[in-house]
Amino acid sequence: MPRSRAKRGSGASAPRARGGKGGAKPGRWQTLGLFVTLLAVAALVGSLAWGVWEHFRAPAAVAPAPARGAPRAAAPAGRVRVQVLNATPTHGLARRATDVLRNHGYDVLEMGNAPRGTNPRESMVYDRVGDLEAARGVGQALGIARVETRRDPSLLLEVTVILGSDWQPPAN
């Protein structure tokens, strides 16, 4: 025991003071890493803000040309983004409704099947952003009378169409 006390008392093996490489004070590399991380986060936030800004000031989309032989319908005022979901077992119904809407100048961003368990007899059009007139225009283009407002800010579109068993595509 006397030996160990003698070693502790000597200045040769005294513990390092805090603040060196292994201490609580951050080193140059840690500071640089933190700076680079903060710079990357700032760039991502700035990119997101720019994207949101551009989304809200985007010009109206130009309506596509109608198919040959189809009568030209009045285009909607401004860009109206639509989601078309087929809630029936009939295959290809969403595609046919999408073609009708695009011929009327609507921007169909998504088409597909409605979630399982959704099987309405009556087709529905949902206004997702508080623009009931745009939703009514979509309903009119498809011949769907039932139009409701059901806001959903998580969707990046204005209108959702649920095709029920009552919807019949127009004759070509």
CATH number at residue 135: 3.30.70.2390
Q: For residue 74, which of 107, 108, 104 has the smallest C-alpha distance?
A: 104
Residue ranges, the chain, pLDDT below 70: 1-24, 52-77, 119, 172
Domain of residue 101 covers 81-163
pTM greater than 0.85: no
CA distance 95 to 111: 7
CA distance 98 to 85: 10
CA distance 99 to 48: 32
Q: Judge whether 111 and 98 are in contact, CB under 8 Å.
A: yes
Q: Are residues 97 and 152 in the same domain?
A: yes
Q: What Cα–Cα distance (Å) separates residue 116 from each residue in 34, 74, 108? A: 47, 34, 22
Q: Are residues 44 and 113 in the same domain?
A: no
Residue 37 is predicted with a pLDDT of 94
Amino acid at 168: Q
Strand partners, 107: 81
Q: Are residues 150 and 93 in the same domain?
A: yes
Counted domains in the chain: 2
Q: Are residues 50 and 95 in the same domain?
A: no
Residue 69 is predicted with a pLDDT of 46
Q: For residue 80, which of 109, 103, 52, 51 has the smallest C-alpha distance?
A: 109
Q: What is the chain's length?
A: 172
Residue 49 is predicted with a pLDDT of 79
Residue 47 is predicted with a pLDDT of 83
Q: Are residues 52 and 87 in the same domain?
A: no
Q: What Cα–Cα distance (Å) separates residue 53 from each residue in 24, 48, 56, 152? A: 42, 9, 6, 20
Distance of CA 15 to the CA centre of its chain: 56
Strand partners, 161: 84, 125
